[in-house]
Amino acid sequence: MNSRARPASPTSASEGEEETIPPERILENRTPDISKMTYTVSSVIMVGNQCVWEDSDLVNLGDFNFAQWYADHTVESNSWAAASKSKVKLKHCNATMSYKNLPKAQHVTVSVMTEEGWQKVQSFVKKWMKALRVNISLKLAAYYTETKREAPPEEPVNDSSKKKVETSQILR
């Protein structure tokens, strides 16, 4: 038997020694800190084919207030309706999610007519953040139909054609 012990390989552990883990395995097992990661939220309100409001923001996971967004788009759509002398009715709301290099055919769309729909969206974003996806983008859209356009008020009819106009002629 050889009295000289062979040195341990960097990935195997001898008695009393800790195993050396290759850097790539350290990254695999490490859960990323997603608390400081942001994603883009773009919002749009459509009435028919017309965009009546849009905005974008960078937000952290859990910081976007879906209930406030829902209330805001209702106010914005009603303001537009009042200004255009019409009425609108909410048809549907959805969120389309993607990240850098994700083919368009694989973008994820979720109905967000309820808080439960929004929770689904948050779970997708969280999952993608943990998988270290970059440039996560969320497009929220509220689609309305114009239900009634008010007729302009009638103007008083000018009956000048019925008035007798007296003219005087000067005879010479």
Per residue in 4-17, pLDDT (tens digit) is: 544 444 444 445 55
Q: How far apart are CA 98 and CA 102, in angstroms?
A: 6
* Residue 34, pLDDT score: 87
Q: Residue 6 has what pLDDT? A: 46
- How many domains is the chain partitioned into structurally? 1
102 located within any domain = yes
For 114-139, what is each residue's pLDDT tens digit? 889 999 999 999 999 999 888 999 99
Q: What is the mean pLDDT of the chain?
A: 80
The three-state (H, E, C) secondary structure of the chain, written as one string: CCCCCCCCCCCCCCCCCCCCCCHHHHHHHCCCCCCCCEEEEEEEEEECCEEEEEEEEEEECCCCCHHHHHHHHHHHHHHHHHHCCEEEEEEEEEEEEECCCCCHHHCEEEECCCHHHHHHHHHHHHHHHHCCCCCCEEEEEEEEEEEEECCCCCCCCCCCCCCCCCCCCCCC
In a domain, 66, yes or no: yes
**Structural domain span for residue 119:** 34-146
Asked whether residue 167 is domain-assigned, the answer is no
Angle, CA of 126, 134 and 128, to the nearest 5°: 25
**Domain-embedded: residue 166:** no
Tens of pLDDT along the chain (172 residues)? Answer: 555 544 444 444 445 555 555 555 545 556 778 888 999 999 999 999 999 999 999 999 889 999 999 999 999 999 999 999 999 999 999 999 999 999 999 999 999 998 899 999 999 999 999 998 889 999 999 999 998 776 666 665 555 555 554 544 555 4
Answer yes or no: is 107 within a domain.
yes
Whether 96 is in a domain gets the answer yes
- At residue 8, the pLDDT reads 46
Residue 100 belongs to some domain of the structure:
yes
Q: Determine, yes or no, domain membership for 40.
A: yes
Is the overall model pTM greater than 0.85, yes or no?
Answer: no
CB 87, CB 146: distance < 8 Å: yes
